[in-house]
């Protein structure tokens, strides 16, 4: 991944993603070969992560060139690096996050004194929960104090801790919302979609290392093409989606999801190449408000030129960056 | 004097003649040249100044590089960024909380490890069968990185403080026990024999002779045990985050990592280092120095 | 303890060794071979022999630190004080406390220990160094503390295993005088192990020469007690020559 | 003989008379009693059998408990479960892969650490200014749990093998350097003086006297350096999983934890322990024993 | 090396010390105070004095291991062989290799080293122990290897700093005979430091008594060379008595 624009197509493209329903475009793109088809001679290499920060670290260190990731880690790296690290080239998933709680908690007023989990400190859901609790008038802290204790915990641990009664609830992405509901008998207290205008908020975007983008614009365009194909396929084949996704998850982690879980999860996520750029300033504000992000500019975070080229070629409407980058 | 001390002569009789006295005191004077102690401030200048100056030079060079070359701030923060990060974390109380939590956990875990390791070491040192059967296993455990216990502990105890204590204890007990064993092994057999000759009972022998003689080895073992406690604690705190875990320095490190905040990471590393050094200087070094000096075992390297 | 010591009223020996043999391992070599020995109260006996002939083993058996393989040993006072080549002071205690611990283990009440310890240190001219730790003392001073400590045990029998071997010659000569003084004035029974023929001839009333492999008493000399004698005196010299010749004969026997 | 050796007398002349010869050889025979070496199998019986028997008893008791009391298998698997887990992992090749990866990384990291630590130690030992300025910092670094470097390394190097190597090196270099320094410090000054008196040049003094004399301390430092390498490696592998990281024992441990597979976790801990012990026994113990035995420094504790 | 040694043709002294003073620290005490000394080729000089009087310091300055604060030292051969109290053998080398290393550093070609080393070990009756490591040898054997090693240096001047102080008396007597033999047959100039008055009287042609604090040559005795003498002989004894009295006077001066 040498940053010289003249070096032609690279031998390999390293892509990072989670083996997770919210990363379904990645799973489908790999499983059905959309990426490889679009990339041609450049070989696709994949790495599976289970947390945003680790993905960002790999991206910053050049171990991967592009990644599917939540908006908050993307914002975080962009601001922390002074805009030098990476840009968002496409959207992938929206929706699919919720606050699920145990029996006995039926309204936000039941929450004081409880312990709620999030996937990881500073990730998209963590910030969402903190911002929502602040809206409800509750204090929280990154060190575990406050009216409501927020305990960033590995998703796998969250399920077992919840089952053991050691957690009262969690703000999670799919399929964990569904797993907690179906396997842990939790119920949904807040669906994040209800908090956003038009029920639309970004869950997963496609982020590309800036140096890589500068060196291999054609390769990045091919990657975006693969993403568009995967999203289209998902929207065209809702019936087969679960099977394909589960096949990839099984291949990556050795353990698939139950059909109930995957079906319920897919009901709650939408797949779209629109990264919902308008939501990003709100996310930045949320992060700053809960003291989890350096307040900074995200001007230039988006580079949707390739996406819009592809979309206009197929006659679709271009997508706006809302003034946050190249269109 | 009790009646059976008739053999001890009336003092005036045994006192050596003046002739022998002066000869002896002359020889004693010749053979015990007082060693001149270096003055405190000179030791300070010789010992503390050079590394501090070196550090300052290093930090200045680092800051100059950052100002001149403008590396990416998330990959290469400057010393000022680190200081700012520390200041931030201090003003929000995160530093104080993390240090207090970690120190509390470390101290409690270490004390439990001492309470377990000391009788275990005594058993190992004094009961031959226990030594033969258990000794190699304990030495083996000392080889096992205590970080390896973290995953098992999480499964057993969940994300709770019990996990932390378990890992700390598994890390520290073997070295405390082995320290005591080697301390007791190193008691010169001659000292035991003197004790026996002086008529000490088994218990008196243990309390008046063996234990005091084994102290330096034991304190060495404790020091190493603390180092392992601290290491294990950091490992456990970094890996086992979330759940009902409190917020320690390891958690702070992991949090800063997750926020991709390298300045914060470096700040936390410096804190961990500082506390490790401080505990050694404040808690162990004086005890060890006193013990060794009292036995004339402290070698003051003044040349070279 | 007091019951076992019939005040040397009868003509009982201070130490009686009968048919004493010693092997360290069942199949090991015979270290001591049927040793018979009778030491009278108040005698100063030097035990002389080459390295490894079993001097320390014999002394340790008399002290009760080792068990004989066969034979019997009886010490009139039941127990003996012992001094080693290495002063073996407790390094964490001052000179005075090193003496006091002996007093404490003998059962002297706490209130009297301090003054008694200082008196004993005065005997070895170390009252001024009473508060020093062993490492602050020279080798000779340490042995003098050890001597004070064994005097504190207050036993009629004192066993000494090469106590001055590690000291320099000047200090050694001085301690010879010191020890002789203590012996003359306290009338203790002393068994003194040494390699040094002149030291044996200088100090002993009786000199026992041990042979090696197995250890036996090979020869014995008696010295008329003519009061203090210098190590350079002609009597010492002529006795030393005689013993040396015998000793060398014993050593040559072991040449490969 | 070269011409200037006229002072060395014709041998026949200096040879001592037979009288002195037999006296000397008699004395030599008396003073050098051969120490009977324990036979190998007796050492084996005394040293290896008791801990092995004890272990077997422990394992049997464990299995009996599992069979009788039926504890929750995910919390308290039996030894058979552990063996099965090992067998499973072996047949899928995961064990072989993990062991090979970790050993390879450990070995390479350790070698790099040796390559850095050795010249650093020499510099510290021989250049007074470097020692004064850098010595305390390096000793301080030895106090820092190397696990604390993992987050920083991840930020710098991402989830790649460079992270692992960085952590391993930061863990091992200080103890290797300090081992060499203390080895050189412990060279008896008398040996240096003999070298000078014999006419050795500075270089000859270093290569013929100081380095061989410092070997035991250096090997001790290497051994400790390896222990730290292995610890740091496990910490790095457990924390830094995913990405382009290879699959090592630490990754296997973490994976088993994520699958809540306690039998697998225990299997991996046993593997880590076994490799740690094996490397010590196979790589370091013989070298150390040979060095110490050659110098008569090996104390064979047979009594007690 | 050979250039600096004019074959003792002129009446040059083997060692010449003029106005030698030594302080270890600038503000430290004067350890040696204006020492003048002239030692003829082939002489056996014993340097006697109490602890800390500066014997080792003087010897080390002559050996070139320390620098004098003022004054000059010249050694006829340019360089001297040295033997210490501690044999200071290289513990990782066998007895033979310990001697060979001295030969190697002197420049003896590799092919000749082995046979020369064995010859030198033969002089000290250790040919059979040539392949043993130092820790397998007794203290006396180690000192004999050290003696062989210093003979291997092949210097006309041999400086010895209490070489036999740590040995037991029997071994020491034997080494006295050995050393005297070597001296008589190789005609080396030997400066022998000791605490032991009898040892000095036994060995030396000249005995120099040093006073303490500051170190000065306080007195000097010459012994007529009447061939080998025993340490127990009357000449040795009477000289020892005389020196001891002087030495004790010096020591008493230092009483507090
Ligand atoms: N604990 C022991 N186990 C086995 N053998 C022993 C033990 N102690 C002594 N020996 C052997 O017994 C013999 C006599 O030893 P001892 O120490 O009594 O000799 P010594 O005359 O005191 O010698 P030295 O003059 O060197 O002190 C030696 O051959 C020694 O190897
Ligand atoms: N390196 C040194 N630094 C400071 N003082 C020293 C040093 N070496 C020796 N001295 C002092 O110089 C004096 C003479 O020491 P030296 O070792 O020469 O005495 P010595 O006659 O050899 O004594 P001993 O008989 O104990 O060997 C002593 O007071 C000692 O403390
Ligand atoms: Mg002995
Ligand atoms: Mg000296």
Answer yes or no: is pLDDT of B36 > 60: no
Task: Give, for E102, the enclosing helix (H) or strand (E).
Answer: helix E95-106
Query: Which pLDDT value is given to residue E255?
Result: 73
Q: Using the 8-state DSSP alphabet, how is residue C54 labeled?
A: S
Q: What contacts A38, CB < 8 A, 6 or more positions away?
A: A222, A223, A225, A226, A229
Report the SS3 class of residue A152: strand
Q: Which residues of A touch B261 (CB under 8 A)?
A: 80
Please report, in angstroms and rounded to a whole number, the separation of the first and last CA atoms in chain E.
49
Average of per-residue pLDDT across D62-88: 85
Cα separations (Å) of C72 from A135, B175, C18, C34, C62? 96, 46, 5, 10, 10
Which pairing describes strands A97-101 and E216-222: parallel, antiparallel, or unpaired? unpaired
Query: Is the Cβ atom of C53 under 6 angstroms away from ligand 1?
Result: yes
Q: Is C51 in the pocket of ligand 1 (CB under 6 A)?
A: yes
**D143, D262, D276: residue with CB nearest B155:** D262
Query: Both tokens of residue A246?
Result: 């589960």
Question: What does DSSP assign to residue C22?
Answer: E
Q: Give the per-residue pLDDT at D5.
A: 44
Alpha-carbon distance of B114 to B136, in angstroms, equals: 20
Phi, psi of C131 (to 5 degrees): -95, 5
Nearest to D295 among E91, E149, E170 (CB): E91
**C237-242: long-range contacts at Cβ-Cβ below 8 A with a sequence spacing of 24 or more?**
C237/C201, C237/E232, C237/E233, C237/E234, C237/E237, C238/E232, C239/C201, C239/C207, C240/C197, C240/C198, C240/C201, C240/E232, C241/E230, C241/E232
Q: What is the pLDDT of residue C31?
A: 83
Residues B54/D134, Cβ–Cβ less than 8 Å: yes
**Residues of chain E scoring pLDDT < 70:** 1-10, 256
Instruction: Tell me the two tokens of residue B187.
Output: 């008691």
Q: Which atom of ligand 2 is nearest to the CA of E57?
A: 18
DSSP class of E71: E
Answer whether A233's CB lies under 8 Å from A239's CB. no
Q: What is the average pLDDT score of chain D?
A: 82
Where residue D2 falls among pLDDT bands split at 50, 70, 90? Answer: very low
Q: How far apart are CA D85 and CA D266, in angstroms?
A: 9
Cα–Cα nearest to D295, from D179, D187, D184, D202:
D187
Å between A136 CA and nearest CA of chain D? 34
HEC string of C191-235 equals EEEECCHHHHHHHCCEEEEEECCCEEEEEEEECCCCCCCCCCCHH
**Structure tokens given for B140:** 């083996």
- Decide: helix, strand or coil at residue E46: strand
Q: HSE (CB half, 13 Å, CA atoms) of D211?
A: 11
Residue D166 has pLDDT above 80, yes or no: yes
Residue B187: pLDDT above 60? yes
CA distance A17 to A55: 8
Q: Does the bond joining A297 to the residue before it have cis omega, within 30 degrees of 0?
A: no
Instruction: For an interface test with A, give the residue of B249, B260, B265 to mutate (most A CBs within 10 A).
Output: B260
Q: With CA atoms as reference, report the closest residue to A40 among A226, A229, A308, A232.
A: A226
| Distance spanning both ends of chain B, measured CA to CA | 55
Handedness of CA B43, B46, B52, B53 (dihedral sign): positive
Find the E137 Cα to ligand 1 centroid distance in Å: 16
Full strand arrangement of the beta sheet holding A97-101: A149-152, A115-118, A169-173, A97-101, A187-191
**Spatial separation of the C-alpha atoms in residues D123 and D131, rounded to whole Å:** 8
Q: How far is D12 from chain B (nearest CA, A)?
A: 44
Q: Where are the alpha helices (DSSP H) in C85-168?
A: 95-106, 110-123, 139-152
Q: Please judge whether A156 and D260 are an interchain contact, meaning their C-beta atoms are less than 8 angstroms apart.
A: yes
Measured between its terminal Cα atoms, the distance across chain A in Å is 25
Residues C155-172 pLDDT 10s? 888 999 988 888 888 888
Chains that touch D (3 or more CB pairs under 8 A): A, B, C, E
Cα–Cα distance measured from residue D289 to residue D300, given in angstroms and rounded to the nearest whole number: 11
C142 versus B31: which is more confidently predicted? C142
Check pLDDT > 90 for residue A68. yes
Q: Which atom of ligand 2 is nearest to the CA of E55?
A: 21
Contact assessment for residue D156 and residue A57, using Cβ atoms and an 8 Å cutoff = no
- As to burial, measured by CB atoms within 10 angstroms (0-12 exposed, 13-18 middle, 19+ buried), residue D292 is middle
Q: How far is E241 from chain B (nearest CA, A)?
A: 16
Q: Evaluate if pTM is beyond 0.90.
A: no
Per residue in A288-300, pLDDT (tens digit) is 877 776 677 888 8
If residue A182 lies in a helix (H) or strand (E), which one and from where to where? Answer: helix A176-184
- For residue A100, the surrounding DSSP H or E stretch is strand A97-101
- What is the pLDDT at residue C24? 84
The pLDDT value recorded for residue D120 is 92
User: Per-residue pLDDT tens for E98-145?
Assistant: 999 999 988 888 888 888 899 889 888 888 888 888 888 888 889 889
Burial class (CB in 10 A: 0-12, 13-18, 19+), C242: middle
Nearest ligand to the CA atom of C195: 1
The number of the ligand 1 atom at minimal distance from the alpha carbon of C195 is 25
Q: Which two tokens stand for residue B141?
A: 């455990």
Which of the 8 DSSP states describes residue B44?
A: H
Q: What's the mean pLDDT in D52-64?
A: 89
User: What angle is formed at CA B183 by the lines to CA B178 and CA B189, rounded to 5 degrees?
Assistant: 130
Average pLDDT of chain B to the nearest whole number: 82
Sole residue written with tokens 């400066």: E191
Residue B34, pLDDT score? 61
- D49-69 vs B128-143: helix axis angle to the nearest 10? 80
Q: Does B300 score more than 50 pLDDT?
A: no
CB count in 10 Å sphere of residue C160:
25
Question: How far is Cα B131 from Cα A152, in angstroms, rounded to an integer?
Answer: 45
- C203 φ/ψ angles, rounded to the nearest 5 degrees: -100, -40
Question: Is residue A176 within 8 Å of A158, Cβ to Cβ?
Answer: yes
Confirm if B254 and B237 have CB atoms less than 8 A apart.
yes
Domain boundaries, chain B: 33-70, 77-294
- Cα–ligand 2 centroid distance for E249 (angstroms): 21
Chains in contact with E, counting 3 or more C-beta pairs less than 8 Å apart as contact: B, C, D
Domain range B77-294, CATH architecture? Orthogonal Bundle (1.10)
Q: How confident is the model at residue B167 (pLDDT cuts 50, 70, 90)?
A: very high
**pLDDT cut 70: percent of chain A above it:** 97
Look at B247 and E254; give whichever has higher pLDDT: B247
User: How many of the other CB atoms lie within 10 Å of CB of B100?
Assistant: 15
Are E15 and E62 a contacting pair, CB within 8 Å? yes
* pLDDT tier for residue B60 given thresholds of 50, 70 and 90: very high
Give DSSP secondary structure letters for D76-101: S--HHHHHHHHHHHHHTTHHHHHHHH
pLDDT at residue C122, as a whole number: 86
Question: Are D98 and D245 a contacting pair, CB within 8 Å?
Answer: no
- Greater pLDDT, A325 or B279: B279
* Interaxial angle between packed helices D128-143 and D94-126, expressed in degrees from 0 to 180 and rounded to the nearest 10: 150
- The answer to whether the CB of C168 falls within 8 A of the CB of E51 is yes
Biggest distance spanned by C-alpha atoms of chain D: 90
Atom of ligand 2 nearest to the CA of E210: 21
With CA atoms as reference, report the closest residue to E62 among E78, E49, E48, E51: E78
Which residue CA neighbors atom 26 of ligand 2 most closely? Answer: E51
Per-residue model confidence (pLDDT) at position E2: 37
pLDDT at C10 over 60: no
Instruction: Give the pLDDT score at E192.
Output: 93
Contacts of E136 (CB under 8 A, 6+ apart): D32, D296, E129
DSSP structure class, residue E50: -
């Amino acid at each position: 991944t040498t940053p010289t624009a003249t070096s032609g197509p690279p031998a390999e493209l390293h892509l990072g993603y989670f083996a997770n329903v919210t990363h379904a475009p990645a799973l489908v793109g790999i499983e059905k070969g959309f990426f490889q088809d679009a990339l041609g001679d450049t070989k696709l290499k994949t790495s599976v992560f289970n947390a945003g920060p680790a993905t960002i670290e790999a991206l910053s260190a050049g171990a991967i060139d592009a990644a599917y990731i939540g908006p908050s880690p993307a914002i975080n790296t962009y601001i922390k690096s002074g805009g030098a690290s990476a840009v968002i080239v496409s959207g992938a998933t929206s929706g699919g996050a919720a606050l699920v709680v145990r029996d006995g908690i039926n309204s936000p007023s039941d929450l004081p004194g409880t312990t709620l989990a999030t996937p990881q400190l500073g990730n998209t859901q963590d910030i969402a929960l903190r911002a929502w609790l602040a809206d409800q008038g509750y204090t929280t802290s990154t060190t575990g104090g406050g009216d409501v204790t927020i305990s960033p915990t590995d998703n796998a641990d969250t399920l077992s801790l919840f089952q053991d009664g050691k957690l009262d609830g969690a703000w999670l992405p799919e399929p964990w919302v569904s797993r907690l509901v179906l396997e842990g008998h939790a119920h949904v207290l807040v669906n994040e979609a209800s908090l956003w205008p038009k029920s639309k908020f970004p869950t997963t975007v496609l982020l590309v290392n800036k140096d890589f983008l500068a060196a291999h614009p054609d390769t990045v365009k091919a990657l975006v093409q693969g993403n568009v194909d995967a999203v289209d396929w998902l929207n065209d084949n809702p019936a087969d989606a679960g099977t394909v996704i589960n096949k990839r998850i099984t291949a990556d982690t050795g353990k698939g999801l139950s059909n109930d879980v995957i079906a319920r999860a897919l009901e709650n996520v939408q797949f779209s190449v629109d990264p919902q750029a308008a939501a990003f300033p709100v996310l930045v504000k949320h992060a700053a408000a809960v003291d989890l992000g350096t307040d900074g500019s995200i001007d230039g975070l988006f580079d949707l030129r390739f996406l819009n080229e592809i979309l206009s070629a197929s006659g679709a409407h271009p997508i706006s960056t809302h003034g946050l980058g190249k269109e | 004097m009790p009646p059976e001390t008739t053999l001890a002569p009336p003092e005036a009789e045994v006192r050596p003649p003046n002739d022998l006295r002066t000869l002896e005191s002359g020889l004693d004077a010749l053979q015990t040249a007082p060693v001149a102690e270096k003055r405190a401030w000179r030791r300070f200048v010789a010992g503390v100044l050079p590394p501090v100056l070196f550090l300052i030079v290093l930090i200045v060079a680092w800051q100059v590089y950052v100002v001149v070359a403008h590396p990416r701030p998330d990959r290469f923060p400057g010393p000022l960024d680190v200081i700012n990060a520390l200041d931030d974390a201090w003003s929000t109380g995160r530093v104080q909380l993390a240090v207090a939590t970690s120190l509390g956990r470390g101290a409690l875990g270490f004390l439990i490890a001492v309470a377990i390791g000391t009788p275990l070491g005594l058993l190992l040192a004094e009961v031959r069968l226990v030594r033969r059967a258990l000794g190699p296993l304990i030495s083996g455990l000392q080889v096992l990185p205590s970080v390896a216990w973290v995953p098992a502990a999480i499964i057993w105890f969940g994300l709770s403080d019990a996990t932390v204590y378990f890992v700390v204890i598994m890390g520290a007990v073997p070295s405390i026990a082995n320290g005591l064993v080697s301390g007791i092994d190193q008691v010169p057999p001659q000292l035991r024999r003197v004790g026996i000759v002086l008529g000490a009972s088994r218990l008196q022998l243990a309390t008046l002779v063996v234990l005091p003689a084994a102290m330096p080895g034991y304190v060495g073992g404790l020091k190493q045990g603390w180092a392992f406690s601290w290491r294990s604690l950091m490992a456990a705190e970094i890996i086992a985050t979330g759940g009902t875990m409190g917020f320690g320095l390891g958690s702070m490190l992991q949090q800063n990592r997750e926020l991709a905040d390298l300045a914060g990471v470096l700040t936390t590393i410096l804190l961990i280092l500082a506390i490790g050094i401080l505990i050694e200087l404040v808690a162990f070094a004086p005890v060890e120095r006193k013990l060794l000096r009292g036995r004339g075992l402290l070698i003051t390297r003044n040349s070279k | 303890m007091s019951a076992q010591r019939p005040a040397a009223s009868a003509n009982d020996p201070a130490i009686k060794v009968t048919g004493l043999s010693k092997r360290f391992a069942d199949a090991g070599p015979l270290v001591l071979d049927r040793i018979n020995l009778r030491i009278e109260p108040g005698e100063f006996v030097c035990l002389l022999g080459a390295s490894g002939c079993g001097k320390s083993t014999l002394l340790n058996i008399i002290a009760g630190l080792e068990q004989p393989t066969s034979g019997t040993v009886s010490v009139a006072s039941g127990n003996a004080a012992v001094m080693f080549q290495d002063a073996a002071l407790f390094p964490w205690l001052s000179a005075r406390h090193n003496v006091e611990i002996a007093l404490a283990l003998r059962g002297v009440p706490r209130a009297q220990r301090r003054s008694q310890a200082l008196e004993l240190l005065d005997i070895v001219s170390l009252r001024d160094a009473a508060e020093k730790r062993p490492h602050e003392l020279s080798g000779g001073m340490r042995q003098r503390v050890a001597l004070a400590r064994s005097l504190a045990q207050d036993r009629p029998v004192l066993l000494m295993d090469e106590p001055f071997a590690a000291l320099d010659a000047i200090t050694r000569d001085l301690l010879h005088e010191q020890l002789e003084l203590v012996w003359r004035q306290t009338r203790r029974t002393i068994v003194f192990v040494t390699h040094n023929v002149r030291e044996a001839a200088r100090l002993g009333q009786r000199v026992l020469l041990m042979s090696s492999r197995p250890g036996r008493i090979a020869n014995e000399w008696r010295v008329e007690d003519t009061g203090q004698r210098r190590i350079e005196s002609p009597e010492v010299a002529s006795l030393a020559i005689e013993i040396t010749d015998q000793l060398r004969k014993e050593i040559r026997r072991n040449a490969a």
